[in-house]
Amino acid sequence: MTDLYARHKSVLPDWLALYYEDPLEITHGEGRHVWDAEGNKYLDFFGGILTTMTAHALPEVTKAVSEQAGRILHSSTLYLNRPMVELAERIAQLSGIPGARVFFTTSGTEANDTALLLATTYRQSNTVLAMRNSYHGRSFSAVGITGNRGWSPTSLSPLQTLYVHGGVRTRGPYASLSDDDFIAACVDDLRDLLGHTRPPAALIAEPIQGVGGFTSGPDGLYAAFRDVLAEHGILWIADEVQTGWGRTGDNFWGWQAHGQSGPPDMLTFAKGIGNGSSIGGVVARAEIMNCLDSNSISTFGGTQITMAAGLANLSYLLEHDLQGNARRVGGLLIERLRAVAAQVPHVREVRGRGLMLGIELVKPGTDEADPDAASAVLEATRADGLLIGKGGGHSTSALRIAPPLSLTVAEAEEGATILERALRSLTQ
Ligand code: PMP
């Protein structure tokens, strides 16, 4: 055990999750690579849990942040803040929500907390619909609605939450249905839930479940839900903390795969936009955002230093069409991984889109999740110079691949080769 790890264990909470038997200390990064304290270099296929949206140490972001740091880090949200207004304008326009208002926070958790505050106030109901296997953050209310039990340390909650089927197709009662039948079954389930409760304020859902293992229902699922929700005046909140900013390749936001009945009433964002600096936020239709009847600010939400990072990062993303890159390189990567998967009996499914790909591992010849295999692949890839993530529902048996969106074809090939070696070693 390194000295730093020993000190970490003696002063930080036991429940603070760390990857790897011998945890990593990352000291610096460049492009799609990071280095640890011993000087080992890694190809980064997890981007700090999808926080590194464009690239590590992107010169454009570094320059914007250092110039801003030389002027002022933060002046208070009680004063006008030019970079905050500029970033809000750009996000409002990109959101697809008509007449959108934007409120900045410092994390995805706080963004979802704010969305729940808005929805429950707007609708005067503290009942919320969330998806089974979902993850929405770690505050009291976000934990309270999170469907993934592995990440819900308390059963107490300020909100009454009802859980909806549809975010996972790998297993469960509807797993073998066609897309249309799956959607119809989930809609029936939703209607059934609504028949037994006071009208909920909102449905909050990740278009692709992140912590849950990069799983999703078929495209169009949330559009079908939306039609039912609209009959009851229930709001739809898309949690875009992992799926936003073009990561899924085909779309800028995850909700767009379900956009037949228009944009969501609210979307929440975080992670990638700051390229590692702490930006979260909510975008909502004006009448929802403005339903609070007392003042509110977030001391650090929208602070100049993070807004400078966000603006430079977003400009780079758009100017270099990294969404298109995610589609192209992600398309090659998934093909390559599917070819490997066909030969490795532990792999049940390779799924996802763009640069958000999941590999579901099972005990060969069964449908049983294999968390030990996922841990073994995580360790083996690390030893071979590749960082990936893991996730999943009742057990952590999916590998998560989400590199910075500037990933090159050569890097995708290199990472796939390392993954292939690790996956094949499961059967040796
Ligand atoms: N929503 C989703 C979909 C997430 O994946 C996460 C973080 N993993 C959060 C919310 C919470 O974000 P944060 O960790 O920034 O509070």
pLDDT of residue 173: 82
Cα 260 to middle of ligand 1, angstroms: 26
pLDDT greater than 80 at residue 250: yes
Please check whether residue 101 is in contact with residue 92, taking contact to mean a CB–CB distance below 8 angstroms.
yes
pLDDT band at 428 (very low <50, low <70, confident <90, very high): confident
Give the ipTM. 0.99
Ligand 1 lined by 133 (C-beta under 6 Å): no
Mean pLDDT of the region 43-59: 97
Three-state SS string over 242-264 comes to CCCCCCCCCCCCHHHHHHHHCCC
Q: How far apart are the first and last CA of the chain?
A: 29
- Which residue's entry shows tokens 């690390």? 382
Ligand 1 lined by 206 (C-beta under 6 Å): yes
Nearest to 45, CA basis, from 424, 379, 407, 402: 402
Helix, strand and coil in the chain, % to nearest 5: 40, 20, 40
pLDDT of residue 362: 96
Q: How far is CA 209 from CA 135, 266, 358, in A?
A: 7, 17, 10
Dihedral pair phi/psi, residue 147, rounded to 5°: -85, -20
pLDDT greater than 90 at residue 427: no
Cα 270 to middle of ligand 1, angstroms: 7
pLDDT greater than 80 at residue 124: yes
Ligand 1 lined by 167 (C-beta under 6 Å): no
Ligand 1 lined by 108 (C-beta under 6 Å): yes
For ligand 1, pick from 135, 139, 140, 151 the residue to mutate: most ligand atoms within 8 Å of CB: 135
> From edge to edge, which strands make up the β-sheet containing 100-105?
100-105, 280-285, 266-269, 235-239, 202-205, 127-131, 160-164
Please check whether residue 109 is in contact with residue 138, taking contact to mean a CB–CB distance below 8 angstroms.
yes
pLDDT of residue 284: 98
Instruction: Take atom 12 of ligand 1 and give the residue whose Cα is closest.
Output: 108
Q: Which atom of ligand 1 is nearest to the CA of 107?
A: 15
Helix (H, G, I), strand (E, B) or coil at 43: strand
Ligand 1 lined by 55 (C-beta under 6 Å): no
Ligand 1 lined by 382 (C-beta under 6 Å): no
pLDDT of 192-238, one tens digit each? 999 988 899 999 999 999 999 999 999 999 999 999 999 999 999 99
How many Cβ atoms from other residues are within 10 Å of residue 418's Cβ?
21
Instruction: Take atom 10 of ligand 1 and give the residue whose Cα is closest.
Output: 136
pLDDT of 379-415, one tens digit each? 999 999 999 999 998 789 999 999 999 999 999 999 9
Helix (H, G, I), strand (E, B) or coil at 361: strand
369's tokens: 């999740």
Q: Which atom of ligand 1 is nearest to the CA of 110?
A: 16
5's tokens: 């790890």
pLDDT of 267-278, one tens digit each? 999 999 999 999
Ligand 1 lined by 350 (C-beta under 6 Å): no
